[in-house]
Every structure is written in C-alpha cells, then in structure tokens.
A and B are shown apart, each in its own frame.
Chain A
C-alpha cells in the first residue's frame, strides 16, 4: 500500500538591519525588527494562516487519514512567539490533531554540521526542546538545513538516535532506481533515508503556475493520476517543499489552495493509497537499497549542491570568520552573547551573498533584501566586526586581527563603559 508523504519547510531568519561602519563599536543591536515583523506578517496572512486553516479542515474532513509533517526552524518559532502568537497557535492546533508530525532540524537553520559538530549537536538539542515545549512531540526524523546530505551526515544523525533523515533524491546517485522507496546509507542498514521525489514536488512548488509548462494548468485529479501511476513501483511518494509554496510563492489567484483542498480526496480515489508522516513511513516500509552519497548535496538550485551558500570566497570568508568565534563566544558563558552569535549562523545570511545567478535577477534576488551580494557581505562583516569588538571590550579577549588595534576612535558607548566589574559581566549588553 503506497503512501504519500508530505513535508513542509517553515523558516524565517532574523534579518540584519542596515549596519554600516559607523555603527561598529557603538551599536550592538543587529536585528531589523521592523523588517522581520513585516515579512512574518505578510507570510502569515498569505500563507501560514490560510494554509494551516485549510490543512486542519482537510484533516478533520478525512477523519485522521490525511497526514502531513512540518519542519519549523527555531528562529521562525521565536519570531512567531514574538510577533504572531496567533500563527503559533494555529500550528499548535494542527499538532493536537494527531495527524501532524514535527521534524528535527538545527535551531538556527544553520550549516553548523560542516563547521562545528559541537554547535550542531547543541542546536539540534535546542530545537528538540523547543518542539517538545510547543508541540509536545519528540522528533525522530531529522531534516538538515536545505536538505544538505551525505553519508557522513546520515551516519552522524543515526548515531544521535534518529530513525531516519530527509534528503534530496539525486538522479546521479539513484541511477535507474526510483526515489519512491526508502534507502539506507552504506554500512548502516537500520537507518532510513527518505528521498524527495523532486519531479512531483517541483510540479507543485515551482511549475504550478507556469503557463509555459505543457501540463499547465495542474489540477488535483491530474496530479493524483501521476501519483497513482507509481502503484506497484514504490512505497512512498515524498513531496517535500517550502510551506510558502502555498499562497506566497504561488499566489492564491493561481488556484493553489483549491488544488490542495481537492488533492487528498483525489489520492484516496485509488484504494491502495494513503498518507503517512515520515516516521510512519519509516515504521511501515523497509529500506530497499543503499543510497551512497559522498559529496555534499542539497535541494537548492539546479546544481543540488552547496554553491548557494558556499559558492564564492565571500561566503567562505564570512562563514569561517563567524565560526572562528565559537570558542571565545562560548567561553563568555553569556547566553545572550551565544544567542546573538548563533543567529549569525543562519544559512540565509550566506545565501544573500551568493553571486552565482546575480546578473540573472532570479530566485536568489527574490529572497534577498539586499541590493547586491556585496552589500550582504559588507553588512554581515560589519556586524561580526562589532561582535568581535564587544568580545574584546567586555570579556577582555585580545583582538586577533591587527586592523582592530588601530581603531582608537571605536569605543563602547557610554552605557556600556560602566560595566567593567566582574559582577556585571552577565548583564545583557546586546
């Protein structure tokens, strides 16, 4: 009995405010609160609220047979708590239905696995706590930031106690094989990898409203028909996509909500098909083969690699610079310092610095509030320079870069200068 497995990604970064060189040493608040609230408001109205409402209705309508999964980053959850508790409540309502599974991910939606295993474990733990607190679930399936994946990651996740992992279904690894089965990493037959069926997923996420697409308009019966065609050659059709597909990337006018509302009934027209969450899929089906991925892969762009975040020297430089601070930051034992630092690890900051399709003005530009990748890098680096400065001044750390020694003009602003005594060290500064 084949299953349809939906997983939706929900993520919002803490975007940085305009931070020029004059603010370094004087201004230690980095977030653009107005913009973060504005974007969350917009996405809440266009996507989160209407989509949650519809999905809850569908769950009720199909009396527990329609199931879905979410992965919601810690930074998105924090912003919902702060700016839009109503959105958080609607996710909690979904959690209470018993038909919704929440996946595990890094709290700050980071690439920490690649730079610091300690930080990675810390963030996964933080996220687990948050999901437990808000949704009363302990995730058993992991999804890494942007589906970044290889054998090493899969085995590491397995060793952390997870039962399975979400990843992209890569043609060049699968060869003739279908993504519609569970696979396992080499030498690890008990752990399961769920592969995204990117053709069917992208039909919804990217092509749905494309009038030049030969299949346009895509209707629920047509899509269900494609799904039903897999009968006999697959256990699970994994439809993984950004949640913003519904209402934000594909506007309501395209008919995306109408499509979604009819899809479960159309799928159920074939008696063999059902819906399962990732952990149910893992419990129900066996891994049918080995999925051997050496190079780091992801679900992004045509390349399905890391080039969107680590494709140029600016991105590498910024990434190395921020991770380089890890020990000094953690040695402060100051939760706010650590939180401020960790928010800078969010993958979006590095995505904004991508130059790979810059001149085409495409999807990267759509997701960035900076005019150019250079602006993104400069803003980020100025913030990091200030954070280093705060470390140095407040926590007596020696500067590691000669350039910062020659800045007598940069000093902490008055309110901070009085906090020299050891007793005030834990006083929040940032």
Chain B
C-alpha cells in the first residue's frame, strides 16, 4: 500500500492537535504502508525511517528521511508558537476571507521559482498572513510532486490540504481520503457558511472516503455537510504510551486546568460561569488558564468584573514541557468546548493521572469512559463534577486510575489499523465500481 499523504502541521511546527496527530499517524502507519508525506515546511526534526517527507521549504533537496527516529517528546522543546489569529483552527478573520482563494492562484511558472517557494515556507509561521497564498502554492507544488502517480491512495489532512487533494485525485484518478480533524463549523459555529466551508464541502463530495476523528465529528459532517454516513469512518486519535510523574505545587488551593486557545469554540464563557459556581461552594480553588486567543481579553476582564480575579491564573501559551509541568500538578482537567472534534489534551491529562470534566460535545469523551461529562452549556453540572473531584479524593483517584488504564486502547497503532482498513475498503469499493 502506497500512500500520498498531504499534511500541513508537522513537528516542530504546530499550533494545535493537527501536528501531533499527523506525526502520530505517520509514525504508526509507516509499519503498514509506504508513505510519502508532503508538508509546507520540514526542518528534519520530525524525520521517521521509511517515510519520505517532502518539505516544500526544501523543495530542491528532497530525499529519503534520515534513519533517526524521534518521539514526540523529543521534539517538544522545539515547538514554535504559531500566531493564533491565523491558525486554521481559529475562525479565519473576515478580512482574510475577503481575499478570495482564487486571487492567490499561482502560475506554474511562479511555483518553479524556488526562491519564492523557499521564502514562503521558511518563515516560522505555518499559517501566517500569507496563508491563502501558501495554500495555493502548496496545491500547485503537491500536484506537481504527485505527477509520478506512484501511490495507491491520497490521504489529505484538513481543509488546508483539501484543494491539493481534489486536484491530485482529478489528475491521477486515485481515490481521495479526507482526514477531518476539525471543521469550519467547529471553529466558526454551527451555522458558519463561508469559503472554507465550501471548500470542505466540495472536498467531501469529491472524496471517496472520510476519516473523522470522532463520532461527534462524523455526526457534524452528516448534519452540516449532508454527507452520507456510510462514507465516513471514525478513527479516534491516539497517544504514545508514557509514564508521567506527578509533582506538587506551593499553592494551598487546588488547581483546575483549562488548556487551549481562548476562542469561542473552546467555551471560555462556560469556563467563567463554571469557575464562579465552583468558587462559591469550594473557595480554595484556582483555575489555571493556559492558552491565548481572541477571547483572552474578554475572559480576563470578565473575571475581574466578577471579582474572580484571584481565582484565575493566566499562564499564557505554554510549550510542551510547560504543559507537562502544569498537568503534573493539576487536580482537575476541564474542557468545556462548544465543539471539540477530538481534544488530544484530554488524553494527555489522563496520562498525567488528572481526572477530566469534559464537554459531551467532544471526541475525547468518547474514548475516555472514565471521565465526567456534561453538555457544553451545563455549567451547574460542570461545577458539581469539579466540586466532587476536588472534595472526594476517592472519586478523583478512581477516575484518574481508570482513565489512565483506559489509554491502553487509545493508541496510534490502533488508529493506524483503522486507517489501513479504511484504505482497503476504499480500494475495494473503487474496484467494484469500476467493474460495473
């Protein structure tokens, strides 16, 4: 099985779960399939044996990856911060959308000018102000690199690579599989209909099969993009097994941790409301907010206005090791997302032995059965759960132990197996259709 994989984020460059997921997928899938991965920028630190990684920033020097293997943890210190206002997981500003995607069509001539390519893909921002130009160029270059037809399936990760996926499918006739880690309707709200939505929908109509990171996401695709559920396979994300030590902190209060971008999608309103309710019944608590985003100022100001300033600690954007440090001393992990396709950080919390209170509108709640879940808006229920975890140690211990034990079944190998089955299914369907 030969897979042409179209990715965007890859270690050490990522802003959210997509980079972590792409790396995890490639690392496990390479044992089952021959992968050629095209990403915008490759520094060499995410190299894996047997995987042909082509970074467009090094378009003149493509070749086999080095024989070194590195785990995600080894790469952690090299995480570069991506400006959040331009992340694909952030609802794209209207200002950017005004620039139609096609305005940035790049002629083949231009794409052959390696100087421009290198400039575009060498900056430290995987998204950045030139995001649409980058996508257009990525599409063009990926299509050229795919001309050899030396692959059986095309596997494209999220909307930024979907244009390339559609183009290569049309060109090669090979089946296209979309891997949906996040949808525009997650980022911009259920009723969001814009060019990115249109692009996602077009790709979904064109694709032979769709991998969704959760049943939640599958349902969203069916509901908001009107896609036949038969064509969607759920492939939950995984986590590399690791033993994470617990540490202590100097505060006398217990710590409830929120990790993620402060955008509407992550439910900052519900974080505030819940914190207020918890503090009323359990005053010795601090909510640690790690992450930033367009709602940051609002959360900060509201907490001050509600005289809750002393209940919050704003930690800003944390590096991988910062996240690990924080989780190692956390008492509760809280994820009140309005719409969370997966939420890999919940798995990380479980790995650290931290019990979770999760939004039901999340993929992570599907795989961590030992967690407490409520509808994203149900702040009474969230507060009751957080209170119980802070107050009843036996509950905290029982849930964290079970959640940790349950991770045995949530691995990238398991995900890779499902993807491999999905490839087979797609090829078989295609064969049958051709015969008829």
A residues near B, CB below 8 A? Answer: 20-22, 24, 312-314, 316-317, 355, 358-359, 372, 374, 377-378, 381-382, 385, 403, 406-410
Contacts and interface: CB of A to CB of B under 8 A. Distances in A.
Interface stretch (B178-186, B222-230, B395-403): B395-403
A20 B384 contact: yes
Contacts of B387: 21
B372 A374 contact: yes
| Chain B binding surface SS class | helix
B277 to A, nearest CB: 7
Nearest to B281: A21
A22 B277 contact: yes
A403 B391 contact: yes
Contacts of B391: 381, 385, 403
Given A312-B398, A313-B397, A314-B394, A382 B284 contact: no
Contacts of A378: 384-385, 388, 392, 395
B52 to A, nearest CB: 41
Given A21-B383, A22-B380, A382-B388, A377 B280 contact: no
Given A377-B392, A378-B384, A381-B388, 5 more contacts: A21-B383, A22-B277, A313-B394, A374-B399, A377-B388
B369 A359 contact: yes
Contacts of B280: 22, 409
B149 interface: no
Nearest to A410: B281
A313 B402 CA distance: 12
Nearest to B372: A374
A21 B384 contact: yes
Interface string B279-318: 0111110000000000000000000000000000000000
A306 to B, nearest CB: 18
A22 B385 CA distance: 11
B281 A409 contact: yes
Do most interface residues of chain A lie in helix, strand or loop, or is the interface mixed? helix
A403 B252 CA distance: 12
A351 to B, nearest CB: 16
B281 A374 contact: no
A24 B402 CA distance: 28
A317 B394 contact: yes
Contacts of B380: 20, 22
A422 B284 CA distance: 34
A314 B284 contact: no
Nearest to A381: B392
Contact of A314 (B277, B372, B381, B398): B398
From B281, B372, B381, B383, name the one whose CB has the most chain A CB atoms within 10 angstroms. Answer: B281
A21 B392 CA distance: 12
A37 to B, nearest CB: 25
Nearest to B384: A20
Contacts of B395: 314, 317, 374, 377-378, 381
Name the residue in B369, B384, B385 with the highest tally of chain A Cβ atoms < 10 Å from its Cβ. B384
11 contacts: A21-B384, A22-B281, A22-B383, A317-B392, A374-B372, A374-B395, A374-B399, A378-B388, A403-B391, A406-B284, A410-B281
B406 to A, nearest CB: 10
Given A21-B384, A21-B388, A313 B281 contact: no
